[in-house]
A = this chain, B = another copy of it.
Amino acid sequence: MSETIYDGLTQLGHAAPLPESPEAAILERVPNPQQGIGYLVRFTAPEFTSLCPLTGQPDFAHLMIDYVPGDWLVESKSLKLFLGSFRNHGAFHEDCTISIARRLVETLDPRWLRIGGYWYPRGGIPIDVFWQTGAAPEGVWIPDQGVPPYRGRG
């Protein structure tokens, strides 16, 4: 098919193994094809998992990432591999959620970004973590993430 902004990438279209750690993961970017347009891109990742650094047991989370691109878009396969790289990595909930966002901010230098981390319960009281880089840019449409609260059973 036609030549695209995706041509220089190292992982897209190749059999890419899961990176062994977040540090080993390569978060790639492509030029924003709609520069100067204030739009929001949302990734919803209900399949996130990491390990508890205290017990080594698996943790799970539903992550949602919203950003308003500047010069760059994140390449989505590299994002998927980056998120997958936490699979055997120990990470606390608050730190983990925010460091994912910060890695994206570093790579993309977006106009604005936020992350919602909705963690599965341990001991009956789940933790959610919410962070944004600052007040939302004026005139850009930022819908609710709309995730219902945890309810337990019944």
Please determine whether B44 and A149 come into contact, CB atoms closer than 8 angstroms: yes
CB <8 Å contact, A53 and B94 = no
Residues of B within 8 Å of A142, CB to CB, are 130
Q: What is the copy number of this chain in the assembly?
A: 10
Among A42, A94, A98, A152, find the residue whose CB has the most chain B CB atoms closer than 10 A: A152
Q: Give 17 pairs: A residue, B residue, CB < 8 Å, sorted on A.
A: A1-B90, A2-B90, A18-B51, A40-B128, A40-B130, A43-B127, A49-B49, A58-B84, A60-B152, A76-B123, A120-B124, A121-B124, A126-B153, A130-B143, A135-B138, A143-B147, A147-B149
**Which residues from chain A sit less than 8 Å from chain B, CB to CB?**
1-2, 4, 6, 12-13, 15, 17-18, 33-34, 37-47, 49, 51, 53-58, 60-62, 64, 73, 76-77, 79-80, 83-84, 87-88, 90, 92, 94-95, 98, 114, 116, 118-132, 134-135, 138-154
